[in-house]
Amino acid sequence: MDAAPRRGNNNKRRRREEDSFEEFVSDEEGGGGGSGDDDDGSSLVSSARARVLSSPPLSTLLASSISPALVFELSSREKRARRATMTTHHFACQLPMFMPVGTQGSVKGLTALDLENARVQLILGNTYHLEQRPGSALIETMGGLHNFVSWKQAMLTDSGGFQMVSLSDLLEVSEHAVTFQDPATGNTTTLTPEHCMQVQNRIGADIMMALDDVVSSTANDPKRYEEATYRTTRWLKRCIAAHKRTDRQSLFGIVQGGLDLALRRKSCEELVPLNLPGYAVGGLSGGEDKANFWRCVDASLELLPENKPRYVMGVGYPVDIVVCVALGADMFDCVYPTRTARFGTAMVSSGLLKLRSRSFANDMRPIEAGCDCATCKRYTRAYLHTIVTREPVASSLVSVHNVRYMMRLMEQIREAIENNRFEAFVQQFMRKQFPRVRANDDYAVPYEKMEEDGRAPVWVREALAKAGIALKS
Amino acid sequence: MCARRVVSFALDHAKYAQNNDDGGNASSLAPRTGTITVLSDQSDGKSASTAGTQKLLTPTSLVCTRRASAHLLENDRAQKAYRTNAAVCVPITHFPGEKYVAGIQSGGIREFANLRAAPVVVATCDDPIRSEYSYSQTTNKSKGFYRLTPFGWLSLQPNQVRTIANAIKPDVLALPIDDVPPAAGKRRRETAVSRTHAWLTETLDDGELQGDVALLAGLTGGTDEVVRARAAKLTMEAVRASSACSRVVGVTVGGLAHGYPADTTKAMLAASLEAVPESMVRYAPGLGAPDDVLRAVASGVDLFDGAYPLTCASDGYALTFPLTAQAARDATHEVDASASAGVDVGSDASKMNLRAVAYRTDARPLVVGCTCEACSRPYTRAYIHHLLNVHELLGEMLLEVHNAHHYSLFFEEMRRTVDDNSFDDFANAHFAYRSAHA
Ligand SMILES: [Zn+2]
Ligand SMILES: [Zn+2]
């Protein structure tokens, strides 16, 4: 219906570097096709689409993109850091954002209400686990993962490829498929890109990840990296062809290339013309050297399109996230905040509180002064000290804080970019994380070793310098 | 320094008439409703949350805790699930000595563990969840008693109980009871009575207990009605003789946790309660299943330990029994329909086994129409079945939320029916429903 005025707007559209998906949408809508059930969710995407099409772009730097189930709108930038809105079928996500992991259909120890109260926007589900139990067929019967787990906002599923390599006995990777054995049951499973898409289509998350040929980032096998990089592209093309619910779910491609920057660039060059709604940087945060890590992120992000969301997979330490945002990344996920909570570790702006430590036995402060989470409003470090790692409720209480801590960190990052003071934010953030002198009553320990002279680690300074941000000494 | 909290109990409605037909002293064995009132004045002007009056309507259950947290639930979430009419039970065995209470500051456990919303905090010497292991563990050599604590088996001395209570600052302290194992002989029973009596008099007389903490005196004696009756009489005499008499607001009827037949339990309750004034609160730990609770309320019990909804949750069960006489009657007639459908899911008439494969694709909430946090979202039976299947903590958490809510509604209906003299009808409808399902 509104296809006609939109077609009259060709100029504006071209300026926005829109991709061919948009043509595809207009054609489909013009022909009266598309999905019949235009509920609240799909109107989220269509109103975002209308908004992008009707407003003049503020500048050529503030790019946007429209695909059938995702609208990406950049709203401000500072150096390479980006502030954007990504509207999916279920939710308009404010980027940059952190996505907690709900491996088996639950973020451990937290209810959906706890997650909403922490202002989580998107939950990640692990396809490998969900396919094992309860199975994607059952999830589809129950109306998709959103319905099944009673979560109304955005969701993302990974491809399962990473878990297959890490959790199963990998038997064979061929051009056709990955074959692996479940160590628990002994069952052999063959996963093809087509099957991977079928499973993720049944699960029905807003964003799905393409099946990539994953090689451990510490493998040190150049030939295998090269093979995997090109195979990832070929598999991505098969994924695109097999993806059946383009009106509701968006497929992201994953940049591979191991730690070889040339391969990373090659991977980007191959993936970008495929014109996906978003891209991820994969194959990192598996224990590789940080100097390699940031250079790979940097090389990939430099070549990924400006007007698409960029997701750095598996990144969850606050320092890493801040560096990646500076380099131009928008999305992050990690089990770290909830996993470390189960071991009694709370995340604060000056590092980590290991609440088991005797220093907290009489500490009547909340985990972090000024934190608005449900735990900090109610409980002291001293009480948490008596229950962490002993009572299961403690892992919920500390998880509530850690998840909210991540959300607050991302809120601060977004606000800083919006107000053009991201550089100052980064400087202040790093000063707190790596203080020259720690206050007597600050019992936090840093995430990683500081330099001897009390400065932020070399890799942090190098990466930020590349992003145009200098840390004052 | 901190606010004074003064505990009192008043009967609201006691049903005497119906139970008087066998003559004698049966009046103390009638269902009754009451109110435990905690008056607090705010002497330090610090926290407004501890000022004012908090009320707890009886009969009701306690909230079981582990190190003062409501098992898997954050304390405010638990209070909401129990609809803020459950006393919180803090076993002192979870803080079994001075070094474990060192971090608790002047506000006591209420401030320390965020039990601010709890109407009443009761410290007990037994852990309702672990009681079955600890009943017989009384050492003969010392005056203390052995209890299974989260830190292993420990011997606690009566004066330690007072030290811990002084740090925890509960509203009510249930004094220790030397329980009698079912197989015990006469001498063991007598020892239990004298030891429990000694613990009481020592606490009343030595003045070590600070603040206004109210006390529940322990009643013991095993299954021997004569011994039990004498123990109760002795206890009441000691209370009346003491200058700290006003501290004792009620009794704990011990020894009921061994799964005795209903008639035995009733006789034990009767023997213990005969000498106890009606103005005293009666706490009967060890009884929790709906049938047992209904019988005990009929015998005049006011407080229950709250372990039942939790142990059901940890076994994967959701409480589903009918909550009104009418619902019970309707469900009694529905029985045949569901039975003929041949659905054997390991559930019984009062609870639903969420581990059963039958719920794999069941999109209904645990109880249709339930307004608890779990059912109202709604979380489905299928999802909770999945969570239990993959050992996700959230599954048991959601069952705890629902079970707490369901259990508190059950107590609310008992209070309502006692007040309008229809308790017998409710109980009869419940038992008819149960036997139709047996
Ligand atoms: Zn917090
Ligand atoms: Zn419910």
Spell out the domains of chain B, with CATH numbers in brackets: 5-305 (3.20.20.105), 315-433 (no CATH)
Residues 6+ apart with CB under 8 A from A471: A426, A427, A430, A455, A456, A460, A461, A464
By C-alpha distance, the chain B residue nearest A387 is B67
Distance (angstroms) between ligand 2 centre and the Cα of B258 equals: 30
Query: Given the structure tokens 């977004």, which residue do they identify?
Result: A414
Residue A420 lies in a domain: yes
Residues pairing with B32 in the sheet: B14
Distance (angstroms) between ligand 2 centre and the Cα of A394 equals: 24
By C-alpha distance, the chain A residue nearest B74 is A393
Per-residue buried b or exposed e for A222-237, using 16+ beta carbons within 10 Å of the residue's own CB = eeebbebbbbbbebbe
Helical axes A458-466 vs A318-326, angle rounded to 10°: 20
pLDDT of A321 over the 70 cut: yes
Q: Which of A59, A87, A115 is the last residue of a domain?
A: A87
Residue A93 lies in a domain: no
User: What is the pLDDT averaged over residues A428-456?
Assistant: 89
**Full domain range(s) for residue A420:** 340-466
Residues of A in contact with B313 (CB under 8 A): none
Chain B: closest CA distance from residue A83 (Å): 33
Nearest ligand, CA of residue B313? 2
ipTM: 0.94
A89 touches A433 (CB < 8 A): no
B394 touches A110 (CB < 8 A): yes
Residues of A in contact with B360 (CB under 8 A): 134, 138
- Spatial CA neighbour of A77 closest among A322, A429, A321, A422: A422
In this structure, how many other beta carbons lie within 10 angstroms of the beta carbon of residue B211?
A: 16
What secondary structure letter does DSSP report for A457?
P
User: What is the pLDDT averaged over residues A141-161?
Assistant: 96
User: What is the pLDDT averaged over residues A98-123?
Assistant: 97
Annotated binding site of B for Zn(2+): 370, 372, 375, 402
By C-alpha distance, the chain A residue nearest B106 is A364
Least CB–CB distance from B150: residue in A109, A113, A390: A390
Beta strands in A339-410 (DSSP E): 345-348, 351-354
A399 touches A108 (CB < 8 A): yes
Distance (angstroms) between ligand 2 centre and the Cα of B361 equals: 18
Question: DSSP string spanning A11-78?
Answer: HHHHHTT--HHHHHHHHHHHTT-S-S---HHHHHHHHHHHHHHHSPPS-TTS-EEEETTEEEEEEEEE
Residue A265 lies in a domain: yes
The phi-psi region of residue A380 (left if phi > 0; otherwise alpha if psi is between -120 and 50; otherwise beta) is beta
Q: A378-395: per-residue pLDDT in tens?
A: 999 999 999 999 999 999
Q: Are A214 and A297 in the same domain?
A: yes
H or E segment and range at residue A341: helix A336-342
Q: Are A318 and A355 in the same domain?
A: no
Banded pLDDT at A2 (limits 50, 70, 90): very low
Among the residue ranges A32-41, A189-198, B9-18, the one predicted with the least confidence is: A32-41
Percent of chain A with pLDDT over 90: 75
- Annotated catalytic sites of A, by residue? 158, 333
Q: Are A262 and A119 in the same domain?
A: yes
Q: Which amino acid is at A89?
A: H
User: What is the pLDDT averaged over residues A317-342?
Assistant: 97
* Predicted local distance difference test score (pLDDT) of residue B139: 56
Q: Are A305 and A358 in the same domain?
A: no
pLDDT of A16 over the 50 cut: no
H or E segment and range at residue A84: strand A81-88
User: Cα–chain-centroid distance for residue A301?
Assistant: 14
- Strands B281-283 and B248-253: what pairing? parallel
Question: DSSP string spanning A391-433?
Answer: SHHHHHHHHHHHHHHHHHHHHHHHHHHHTT-HHHHHHHHHHHH
Q: Are A245 and A351 in the same domain?
A: no
Q: Are A135 and A228 in the same domain?
A: yes
Q: What residues of A are in the B interface, CB distance below 8 Å?
A: 104-106, 108-113, 129, 133-134, 138, 141-143, 148-150, 361-362, 364, 374-375, 378-380, 382-383, 385-387, 390-397
Q: Which amino acid is at A174?
A: S
The phi-psi region of residue B433 (left if phi > 0; otherwise alpha if psi is between -120 and 50; otherwise beta) is alpha
* Predicted local distance difference test score (pLDDT) of residue B158: 84
pLDDT of A433 over the 90 cut: yes
| Interchain contact, B361 vs A133, CB within 8 Å | no
Using CA atoms, how far apart are residues B203 and B196, in angstroms rounded to an integer?
Answer: 11
Per-residue buried b or exposed e for A83-108, using 16+ beta carbons within 10 Å of the residue's own CB = bbbbbbbbbbbbbbbbbbbbbbbbbb
A19 touches A67 (CB < 8 A): yes
Q: Are A146 and A37 in the same domain?
A: no
Question: DSSP string spanning B152-205?
Answer: EEEEE-HHHHHHHHHHH--SEEE-------TT--HHHHHHHHHHHHHHHHHHHH
Residues 6+ apart with CB under 8 A from B223: B180, B182, B255, B260, B264, B267, B268
Distance (angstroms) between ligand 2 centre and the Cα of B193 equals: 43
Torsion of Cα atoms, B19 then B20 then B25 then B29, to 10°: 10
Distance (angstroms) between ligand 2 centre and the Cα of A100 equals: 27
Residue A458 lies in a domain: yes
Using CA atoms, how far apart are residues B254 and B145, in angstroms rounded to an integer?
Answer: 15
A189 touches A183 (CB < 8 A): no
Residue A472 lies in a domain: no
- Spatial CA neighbour of B313 closest among B264, B366, B246: B366
- Mean pLDDT, chain A, whole residue set: 89
Q: Which of A87, A112, A142 is the last residue of a domain?
A: A87
* Predicted local distance difference test score (pLDDT) of residue B131: 57
Residue B183, exposed/middle/buried by CB under 10 A (0-12, 13-18, 19+)? exposed
Using CA atoms, how far apart are residues B368 and A419, in angstroms rounded to an integer?
Answer: 49
Q: Are A77 and A106 in the same domain?
A: no
| Interchain contact, B102 vs A383, CB within 8 Å | no
- Strands A70-78 and A81-88: what pairing? antiparallel
Residue A92 lies in a domain: no
The number of residues in chain A equals 473
Residue A232 lies in a domain: yes
User: What is the pLDDT averaged over residues A140-158?
Assistant: 98
The CATH number assigned to the domain holding A288 equals: 3.20.20.105
Give the number of domains in chain A.
Answer: 3
Banded pLDDT at A147 (limits 50, 70, 90): very high
Using CA atoms, how far apart are residues B15 and B1, in angstroms rounded to an integer?
Answer: 42
Q: Are A314 and A346 in the same domain?
A: no
H or E segment and range at residue B399: helix B393-419
Using CA atoms, how far apart are residues A277 and A273, in angstroms rounded to an integer?
Answer: 11
Rg of the Cα atoms in chain B: 21
Residues 6+ apart with CB under 8 A from B48: B42
Distance (angstroms) between ligand 2 centre and the Cα of A151 equals: 18
Tokens of A396: 């919920």
3-state secondary structure of B52: strand
Nearest ligand, CA of residue A402? 1
pLDDT of A342 over the 90 cut: yes
Mutate to test the interface with A, among B47, B64, B69 (most CBs of A within 10 A): B69
* Predicted local distance difference test score (pLDDT) of residue A452: 77
| Interchain contact, B74 vs A393, CB within 8 Å | yes
Q: Which of A51, A68, A87 is the last residue of a domain?
A: A87
Nearest ligand, CA of residue B368? 2
CA dist list (Å): A18 to A8, A23, A276, A310, A399:
15, 9, 11, 16, 40
Q: Going residue by residue through chain B, which has 438 residues, state the pLDDT in tens, using 9 for 90 and above.
A: 456 789 999 999 886 544 444 444 445 689 999 999 999 876 554 554 556 899 999 999 999 999 999 999 999 999 999 999 999 999 999 999 888 998 898 899 999 999 999 999 999 998 998 755 445 455 555 678 888 888 888 888 888 999 999 999 999 999 999 888 888 899 989 999 999 999 999 999 888 899 899 999 999 999 999 999 999 999 999 999 999 999 999 999 999 988 999 999 999 999 999 999 999 999 999 999 999 999 999 999 999 999 999 999 999 999 999 999 999 999 887 755 444 444 556 677 899 999 999 999 999 999 999 999 999 999 999 999 999 999 999 999 999 999 999 999 999 999 999 999 999 999 999 999 999 887
pLDDT of A5 over the 50 cut: no
Query: Given the structure tokens 């000694």, which residue do they identify?
Result: B198
Using CA atoms, how far apart are residues A261 and A269, in angstroms rounded to an integer?
Answer: 12
Residue A473 lies in a domain: no
Query: Given the structure tokens 């009419």, which residue do they identify?
Result: B85
Whole-structure pTM value: 0.93
* Predicted local distance difference test score (pLDDT) of residue B41: 78
The widest CA-to-CA distance across chain B, in whole angstroms, is: 66
Least CB–CB distance from A390: residue in B67, B75, B378: B67
Query: Given the structure tokens 């948009």, which residue do they identify?
Result: A22
Q: Are A406 and A296 in the same domain?
A: no
Please count the residue pairs, one from chain A and one from chain B, whose beta carbons lie less than 8 angstroms apart.
Answer: 104
Least CB–CB distance from A385: residue in B75, B103, B114: B103
Q: Are A28 and A158 in the same domain?
A: no
The reply to whether A158 sits in an annotated binding site is yes
Query: Where are the alpha helices (H) located in B286-371, listed in sequence order?
Result: 290-298, 307-314, 325-340
The widest CA-to-CA distance across chain A, in whole angstroms, is: 70
* Predicted local distance difference test score (pLDDT) of residue A163: 80
- Spatial CA neighbour of B239 closest among B205, B195, B189: B205
Q: Are A273 and A292 in the same domain?
A: yes
Beta strands across the sheet bearing A178-181: A169-173, A178-181, A188-191
| Interchain contact, B373 vs A113, CB within 8 Å | yes
